[in-house]
Amino acid sequence: SAVISQKPSRDICQRGTSLTIQCQVDSQVTMMFWYRQQPGQSLTLIATANQGSEATYESGFVIDKFPISRPNLTFSTLTVSNMSPEDSSIYLCSAEQGAQGETQYFGPGTRLLVL
Amino acid sequence: DAKTTQPTSMDCAEGRAANLPCNHSTISGNEYVYWYRQIHSQGPQYIIHGLKNNETNEMASLIITEDRKSSTLILPHATQRDTAVYYCIVRDPLMDSNYQLIWGAGTKLIIKP
C-alpha cells in the first residue's frame, strides 16, 4: 500500500494569510486527491490533483482559494489562500493505488487553525 | 448522499470480536464495498474491500451477503486501539468519473476494557 506523508502536521495561522500543505507519496500514483474535514464532520473532496494539468475542483471549491500543484507522480501541494477562521479544518491528501486503481490511501492530515 | 447505512455507535468488550454491519441495498453489480476507519485526529486508514466473496486480511474479515445488499466487518480480537469511527463505502473503481469516496457518518466503535 502507498505510504503518504504530509507537511506540516499542524499549524496556527492568522486570517488573511496563506498556507501551503505538501503531500508526498512513496511510489508513483496516477490519482491524487485533496479532502477537507471540518470539526465533527465527514470528509469532503476539494479537488483531484492532475499531473501535468490543472486540478479538477468539486462544487463549492475554486482555484483562487485552493490552488493545487502536481509537478510529478509522487508529490502535490494544496494552498489555502486568504484564510479565515472558517478554513479551520483537517486537510487530507490521498492517493489511489492498485492494479485497477481500486484503493485510496490517506495521509495523516494537516490540522489548521485560523485565528 | 452516502449509499450506505450504518449504526451510529457500537460498544464491544476488549478481546471479543467486533461485528460492524453495513446496509447497501442499492449497490450495483460493479460496485465494491470498502471499509476505512479513522482514529481520532488521524487520517482515514484503509481496512479491506470486496466485491462478492468474503475477504480476510491481517486487520479484519469482510462478509458480504449473497444478495450483496449488506455486509459485516469483523475485527476478530478487538483492542482499545481499535476504537475509531468505521466507514463503509461503496464504489465502482473502474468508472473513471467515480473517483470520489462518498463518506457517511460511519459507526463510532468503542472498545471497552
Per residue in B7-45, pLDDT tens?
A: 999 999 999 999 999 999 999 888 899 999 999 878 999
Query: How does residue B95 score in pLDDT terms, banded at 50, 70 and 90?
Result: low
Q: What is the pLDDT of residue B96?
A: 56
Show Cβ contacts of residue A33 under 8 Å, excluding neighbours closer than 6 positions. A45, A46, A47, A48, A49, A93, A94, A95, A96, A104, B99
Residue of B nearest to A96 (CA): B99
From the CA of B55, how many Å to the nearest CA of chain A? 15
CB atoms within 10 A of CB B51: 16
Whether B86 and chain A come into contact, CB under 8 Å, resolves to no
- Answer whether B93 sits within 8 Å of A1, measured CB to CB: no
| Model pLDDT, residue A92 | 97
Question: Do the Cβ atoms of A106 and B32 come within 8 Å?
Answer: no
What is the count of residue pairs from A and B with beta carbons less than 8 Å apart?
48
Residues with Cβ < 8 Å from B102, sequence gap 6 or more? B1, B2, B3, B89, B91
Contacts of A62 (CB under 8 A, 6+ apart): none
Give residue A2's pLDDT band: very low, low, confident or very high (50, 70, 90): confident
Angstrom distance (rounded) from CA A101 to CA A32: 11
User: Is there a contact between B49 and A45 if contact means CB atoms under 8 Å apart?
Assistant: no
> Using CB atoms, which residue from B43, B46, B100 is nearest to A109?
B43
> In chain A, what percentage of residues exceed pLDDT 90?
80
pLDDT digits (tens, 9 = 90+) for B41-72: 789 999 999 999 899 999 999 999 999 999 99
Return all residues near B3 (Cβ < 8 A) that are at least 6 apart: B24, B26, B27, B90, B102
**Cell numbers linked to B82:** 481499535
Instruction: Return the C-alpha cell found at A2.
Output: 502507498
Q: Is A50 on the interface with B (CB under 8 A)?
A: no
* pLDDT tens digit sequence for A78-93: 999 999 999 999 999 9
Find out whether B30 and B14 touch, Cβ atoms under 8 Å. Answer: no
- From B25, B18, B14, B4, select the one nearest B106 (Cα to Cα): B4
- Radius of gyration in angstroms for the set of CA atoms belonging to chain B, rounded to a whole number: 13
Say if the Cβ atoms of B106 and A106 lie within 8 Å: no
- Interface contact B42, partner A, CB < 8 A: yes
Among the partner residues B43, B99, B103, nearest to A42 by beta-carbon distance: B103
